[in-house]
Every structure is written in C-alpha cells, then in structure tokens.
Structure 1
Amino acid sequence: MLSTLGDDSLLKPILAGGAAVEPEPWVTAEQVAHHLGVVKDTVYRWREQRNLPAHRVGRLWKFQISEVNKWVRAGGPDTLSAEKEDRS
C-alpha cells in the first residue's frame, strides 16, 4: 500500500493494488449509537467496560464503523451480561 506525500497527503486517496481507496471516515459516539440502535451513553459504557474500539482525538472519542461492526460480530456487546450490569 502506498500513500501520496505532501502538504495535503491526508486528503488524497491511498493507492491499493493500483486502485484509489478512500480512507474510512471517523464517526462520533452519537453516530455509532444511531448505527447500533442504542443511546450514546451505552456506546461510552461499552467503550469503557467492553473494549469497544475507539480512538481518542484530543478530548473526543472517534470510531470507525468497520471496527465497531467487527467488535459486534465477535460478541462485544453480549446482551445477557449487559442486562445484568444494568440491574446492578
């Protein structure tokens, strides 16, 4: 994989196998909550207690939907134990 260099290198697509690939956008906790059909507080709780993949950018948390989807498919939110936590 090869990326372009220069002052605007972050804005140019990455070349993968000769084809341009746009980088995946970073999204907010609110957008992740909407994507998963939960409230924003649940996203933050999963980040803290269940290792939901997130990246700190300054004082904000940013997510990539592909990482979130992979985490969900691997059983990250595990609803049975999440219900037990909510009752505590």
Structure 2
Amino acid sequence: MFGLGTWIQIGIVLAVMSGLAWSHSAAYRAGRSAEQAAFVERINQENEDAGNSAEDWRSQYRRCVDAGGLFDFETGACDR
C-alpha cells in the first residue's frame, strides 16, 4: 500500500513535529519560570517597602509620644 519512502517521509514529519512541540513546550516553561520569578521579586519588594513604611510611621509616632505630643492619625501629624 505505502512504499518505504512514504513511511520514511511520515517518520521525518512526525520527528520534526515532535521536536517543534518539545521546543515550544520548553520555551513556554522557561517563560513561565521567568515570569513567576519576577512576580515573586515584585511581591518581596512590595513587602519590604511596606515594612519600611510601617517602621517610618512607628518612628514618627514614638518621637511624637516621647516629646509629649498627641499623634493625629487622620493627618499623620504630631499635635503638641
């Protein structure tokens, strides 16, 4: 029904298609890993920024209270 040349051509086509599928899959996984790493880095940076902001606020509050003032939370200012 099919000659040997036809089967070889079918095999070559299947091999090429398999290679392309594998390479695209590997590229997709690499892209996902890179995106996940960037996402984690952004979350870590935002957490660090939030921690620094909270520490700055706590420092302002402590200075205000230690100086005998009353900290106004609405305005973020110290009333003395």
Which TM-score tier does this pair reach, normalised by the shorter chain? under 0.3
- Provide the TM-score with structure 1 as the length reference: 0.23
**Structure having the higher Rg:** 2
The structure in which a higher percent of residues are helix is: 2
Structure number with greater CO (CA < 8 Å, separation at least 6) is 1
